[in-house]
Chains A and B, each alone.
Chain A
Amino acid sequence: MISAITGGYFARRLLTSIIMLVLVMSVVFFADRQIGDPARMVLGTTATEDDVRELRERMGLEDPMWVQYQRFIVGMASGDMGDTFRYGISKPLNHGEIPDSRKTLPIAMDRLPPTLLLGGATILFSVIVALPLGIYAAVRPRTFGDRMVNVLSLAGVSIVEYWFALILILLFAVQLDWLPTSGYGTAAHVVLPALALSLRPIGRITQIARSSMLDELAKPYITAARGRGIPLRKIASVHALKNAAIPIVTTIGDETINVVTGVIIIETVFGWPGIGALTVEALAIRDVPLIEATIFLLVLMVLAINLIVDLIYTVLNPRVRFGA
């Protein structure tokens, strides 16, 4: 399915993505260095000047900025983004004591599977609900059913995800005791966070599916197909849907990226051990290397999603596939 022309196109897109990643991480690197002395942040305010100086040496903070930057970029490429400052350290530090450090990237990578699970479940559920709703509304425009779908999809877009999540907890976990309030492990744990996260994608995908199907159903070939006696249900779900797919795929891609952002809050609310909750933790304890690692992975996910959406385009649209 993928020709040599699109192969070159992908090589170019991949290169652009890598440049973008390096650019974004460079901004993060230089911005991070403005918020204070990392050695002082590790040791706290009670540490002596000598201790701080010693740790600065060990952390390589006495080197010129460009050496540090070089180390950062090389480290990023080789999968070593430095040690955490204080993540997972519960006891207070004594004078002169230097905390055990751990590599940030493995810590962050450990959090990736739960996030992928939650994000995947959310998008899958959203598409399964939204596509039929959108098509249903498009085949009977301006009827009561269409209006209901429209208002419901707008409501889905307007709701505050984490508030809805808390209401779900209140209802299903606290009052009814059907599902766990938070945590990770069983299938029951996925239900509430995925439900909370999926409202917005459901609303957006339904709207786009409806409007692009409406545009498509107005075209002459649909009239021709109906003239030949093919039932509307079949025309809509087979012929029109295929041609209306591009804006829908774009929206699904956009919403997948929004879910990557959405997990930052929802994981925090549900105590879901994913990359989003880790990002918030890292920011809250001002653990700079861990912040860098989590942002690195989040941006990487977004760029990967964009690449996958591009790949799907080439399959769906022959004009892209043949390098137009």
Chain B
Amino acid sequence: MTAETDTATEVVEERQARVTSRDLLVALARDPVVLLAVVFLVTLVFAATFAGWITPYDPLTPNIFAGRAPPLSTVSGLGGVEQFHLLGTDALGRDMLTRLLFGARASLAVGFVAVAVSGIAGTTLGLLAGFYGGRVETVIMRAVDAFMAVPSLLIALFVLFLIGGGLINMVLILAFVRWVVYARLARGITLSYRQSSFVEAARSIGASDMRIIFRHILPNMMSPLLVLATLEIALLILAEAGLSFLGFGLQPPEPSWGLMIARGREYLREAWWMITFPGLAIFLTTLSLNLLANWLRTITDPVQRWRWLI
């Protein structure tokens, strides 16, 4: 290797250095609001995962002596044991904080799993449609059009009515209604890369279609996909809460934020905490996810990210 190419490589490296995870952390530290959002999300995931160890109470066992205790109150439970309830209790005397933590499990599970399933399925279909064109594309994109013609929540409501609620059904249905957004995005980007020189280069050295699609085109759309997926998690958490609130999603006594709001609605006048805290939990979670998505979009955009990385 000559000295000339060495310098050339160096210059290129200097200019187009990839964004490392360290750069991301540095950029994150400069944006306190987003940092706060990330800290909140990490704490939430951690707390939801280890909910059973964090709280001494059971999310399902009622306590008839402690119904509708306001926040920061101490009530005597079975056998005269003093029990402290930071966020109060619900109508059946179950600890609000405990139910919020277990409810976080449902919300996060629905959000993450449904996004993973719909994201993988939708992206794959979009890649295939964009890459192959022709009849494959027609069939896939017609299906996308049909799904876009009806609001997702209406489809979800109708399918839940047909097959019944519950956690698993909820995840499957939300994945089923939201794959189209990834398919549209993936197809659009694939179309713009299909004729590009790097795809041609890969093909000319004998790479298979699948290799070109998944090793060459897919990595080039990871950042928009990541942004979209983050937004979708927020959207699905809201959708889960809405469907459960209407009585078509998770079923009592499963702890779900949407269900907790639905129950709290009956005690709107007497117990403000029953409705305030679950709503705040959803709000803070989706707000954090939206802030994170917004930030990811800026940071992964080569035109905008220099402002944050220098």
Contact = CB atoms under 8 A, between A and B. Distances in A.
A159 B261 contact: no
B275 A20 contact: no
A141 B238 CA distance: 30
Interface string B256-286: 0000010011001100100110110011001
A201 B278 CA distance: 23
A19 to B, nearest CB: 10
Contacts of B152: 261
Nearest to A164: B279
A284 B247 contact: yes
Nearest to A280: B246
Interface in A163-200: 163-164, 166-167, 169-170, 174
A269 B262 CA distance: 10
Interface stretch (B49-57, B80-88, B155-163, B167-175): B155-163
B154 A295 contact: yes
Nearest to A303: B149
Interface in A260-291: 260-261, 264-265, 268-269, 279-280, 283-284, 286, 291
A283 B248 contact: yes
A222 interface: no
B149 A20 contact: yes
A154 B149 contact: no
A167 B276 contact: yes
B283 A24 contact: no
Interface in A88-128: none
B63 interface: no
B151 A166 contact: no
A167 B275 contact: yes
B275 A28 contact: no
B146 A23 contact: yes
Contacts of B110: none
A155 B291 CA distance: 9
Contacts of B290: 154, 157-158
A166 B273 CA distance: 12
A182 B278 CA distance: 22
Contacts of A158: 234, 283, 286-287, 289-290
A65 interface: no
A284 B268 CA distance: 23
Contacts, number: 108
Contact of A160 (B150, B279, B289): B279
Nearest to B258: A160
B146 A160 contact: no
B246 A265 contact: yes
A87 interface: no
B242 interface: yes
Interface in B168-227: none
Interface in A207-266: 257-258, 260-261, 264-265
Contacts of A32: 162
Task: Report whether over half of chain B's contact residues are helix, strand or loop; otherwise say mixed.
Answer: helix
A32 B264 CA distance: 33
A264 B162 contact: no
A136 interface: no
Interface string B120-132: 0000000000000
Contact of A302 (B149, B241, B246): B149
A160 B162 contact: no
A111 to B, nearest CB: 15
A81 to B, nearest CB: 16
B174 to A, nearest CB: 14
A28 B149 CA distance: 14
B151 to A, nearest CB: 4
B102 interface: no
Contacts of B265: 166, 269
Contact of B279 (A163, A286, A295, A298): A163
Contact of B151 (A151, A265, A298): A298
A166 B268 CA distance: 8
A179 to B, nearest CB: 15
A166 B275 contact: yes
Contacts of B33: 151
A31 interface: yes
Contact of B282 (A17, A163, A170): A163
Interface string B225-264: 0000000001000100110011110000000000001001
Given A174-B269, A261-B153, A160 B246 contact: no
A192 B242 CA distance: 18
A324 interface: no
A85 interface: no
Contacts of B278: 163
B58 interface: no
B294 A154 contact: yes
B145 interface: yes
A268 B246 contact: yes
Given A34-B162, A170-B272, A264 B157 contact: yes
A299 interface: yes
Contact of B238 (A160, A174, A279): A160
A11 interface: no
A167 B279 contact: yes
Contacts of B291: 154
B282 A160 contact: yes
25 contacts: A17-B149, A34-B162, A159-B286, A160-B241, A160-B283, A160-B286, A162-B242, A163-B279, A163-B283, A166-B265, A167-B275, A167-B279, A170-B275, A260-B151, A261-B151, A261-B154, A265-B246, A268-B246, A280-B246, A286-B161, A295-B154, A295-B158, A299-B149, A299-B150, A302-B151
